[in-house]
Amino acid sequence: MASTTSESDQRRHELADFLRSRRSQVRPEQVGLPADVGRRRVRGLRREEVAHLSRVSYSWYTRLEQGHDVHATADVIDSIAVALQLSEGEHRHLRRLAGLSLGQRNENALAVDDPIGKLLERVLPAPAYVVDSRFEYLAWNDALAAVFCDIGALPRTRRNVLWATFAVPGVRRSLVNWEEHARQVVGQFRAEAAAHPEDQRFATMAAELNAASEEFRRWWVAHEVVLAAAGQQSFRHAGVGLLSTDLIQLRLIDRPSLKVVVHQPSTDEDERKLEALRGDAHWGAAVNRDALQP
């Protein structure tokens, strides 16, 4: 028993040392934070910045980095790996130190050649994407980038439907029925948060959005719950004008935490407009590689 305890303590301290060393190697500007040249007392990122990027509480991350005995799920460890911009080898090492099986995969992870990605290509020119229960974008097609938001251009920790809706100015301008869409997303997010009380990243995301958006703050405290958004969604586009789409949401039987969302053109004219946007460009679909597990 004493030997087991000693090994556990050693692994926790090694994990703490590894996190501190990797944190010191990441420059703020690498993760979309201001450099604050001349004002930083630490090399690399601060603890609170890593916690913020990983969507965990500052106190919890501090305890982890100090070698305390805290429970860390695979999802949280993987989020920390993304925040610290770890290489594949470093990511695998972090999982070992955290006592996680290297073969353990997040059920939300998509392989680059996943059939769902092929589906997003097949529905073109309809904008479409895949999200998990936390509304993290796992895959999307180029039509979505053309009419809504270029998900791939967002910081890795901000590839989320709520963040795009409330914090990306272009989205607010492009959505004709922005308020209706935003309130539905908040209601869906609250329903998912209630269904996953053990996942503290829902609370972290809500806190970040409360700080970033007055509208989110007002609608979040209203406690409205929406199980599934439906109806029509219209976009404004400088090149082709108004685009109307019918919103279709599909749950996967074998992966119920994933949702496929398709913006089906409402009319033949809307489809022609999307085809005109595509032009001669080779539209395809992208998988969020940062969501993949090693």
pLDDT for 288 equals: 66
Fold equal for 2-97 and 115-291: no
d(CA 26, CA 264): 42
pLDDT for 174 equals: 94
Contact 136, 129 (CB under 8 A): no
Q: Domain spanning 115-291 has what CATH number? A: 3.30.450.180
pLDDT for 104 equals: 44
pLDDT for 292 equals: 38
pLDDT for 5 equals: 58
In CATH terms, the fold of domain 2-97 is: 434 Repressor (Amino-terminal Domain) (1.10.260)
d(CA 247, CA 184): 12
d(CA 191, CA 149): 24
d(CA 98, CA 72): 7
pLDDT for 289 equals: 52
With a cut of 70, list the residues of the chain below it in pLDDT: 1-5, 36-38, 88, 101-114, 230, 287-294
pLDDT for 102 equals: 58
Q: Hey, where are the domains in the chain?
A: 2-97, 115-291
pLDDT for 294 equals: 31
Q: Give strand pairing partners of 282.
A: none
Rounded to two decimals, the pTM is 0.65
- Contacts of 274-279 with CB under 8 Å at 24 or more apart are 274/125, 274/126, 274/127, 274/143, 274/146, 274/147, 274/240, 274/243, 275/125, 276/239, 276/240, 277/125, 277/143, 277/146, 277/147, 277/237, 277/239, 277/240, 278/124, 278/125, 278/142, 278/143, 278/146
pLDDT digit string, tens, across residues 195-229 = 888 777 888 889 889 988 999 999 999 999 988 77
